[in-house]
Structure 1
Amino acid sequence: MATATATIDLPASPDQVWRLIGGFGSLPDWLPFIPAGDLDEGGRVRHLTTADGKTIVERLEHFDDQARSYTYTIVQAPFPVGDYHSIIAVREGADAGHARVEWSGTFTPKGVTDEEAVELFCGIYTGGLAALEQTLGT
Structure 2
Amino acid sequence: MEDNPVRQPDDANGSPSAPDQRPFAGKLSRYARPALIAGASIAVVCIALLIIIFILDSFNAATYSMTGKSVQDATDEARDIRDTYAGVRIGTIIGLVVSGVVALAGAVVLYLNRGTAPKEEYDDGEDVDFDDLAGQ
Q: TM-score range by the shorter chain?
A: under 0.3
For the pair shown, which has the larger CA radius of gyration, 1 or 2? 2
- TM-score for both structures, normalised by structure 2: 0.24
- TM-score for both structures, normalised by structure 1: 0.24
Q: Which protein has greater RCO, CA pairs closer than 8 Å, 6+ apart?
A: 2
The structure with more helix, counted as a fraction of residues: 2
The structure with more strand, counted as a fraction of residues: 1
